[in-house]
Amino acid sequence: MTAPRPKTCAACGRGIAAREVYYRFKLVLEGEQDVLDASGGGEGDDLAALVKQLEEGPDDPRELEEQVHWERTGVVCSACRLVVVRALAPSPTPAGPH
């Protein structure tokens, strides 16, 4: 029987001993937009103009893709689990825009 591979907490960087409880996570952020700006011509024209702007722009395609779809997996220790859950739990009062 081989020993389990050592794990490192993705939040604090601390090594997690094999006997310690740890928590796996998978976080996916996907950008969405319900409507395009309706100030122009038809929807097809707006979309074509947007695609042309993106193709001709100086932005790196990988960076643009990360703005639309970002995905990470890993493990966190017990202490960091509390911080992550607290950060992602719905607040009883709206925090407002960030």
Q: Given a cut of 70, is residue 26 above it in pLDDT?
A: yes
- Residue 65 included in any domain: yes
Q: How many domains does the chain have?
A: 1
- Residue 18 included in any domain: no
- Residue 43 included in any domain: yes
- Residue 56 included in any domain: yes
Once rounded to an integer, what is the mean pLDDT over residues 48-60? 79
d(CA 7, CA 27): 18
Whose structure tokens read 């790196």?
60
Question: For the CA atoms of 79, 80, 84, 85, what is the dihedral angle to 10 degrees?
Answer: -20
* pLDDT tier for residue 44 given thresholds of 50, 70 and 90: low
10 Å CB burial of residue 84 (0-12, 13-18, 19+) is middle
50: containing domain: 38-69
Q: Given a cut of 80, is residue 12 above it in pLDDT?
A: yes
Q: What is the pTM of this model?
A: 0.63
Q: Given a cut of 90, is residue 16 above it in pLDDT?
A: yes
Once rounded to an integer, what is the mean pLDDT over residues 47-68? 79
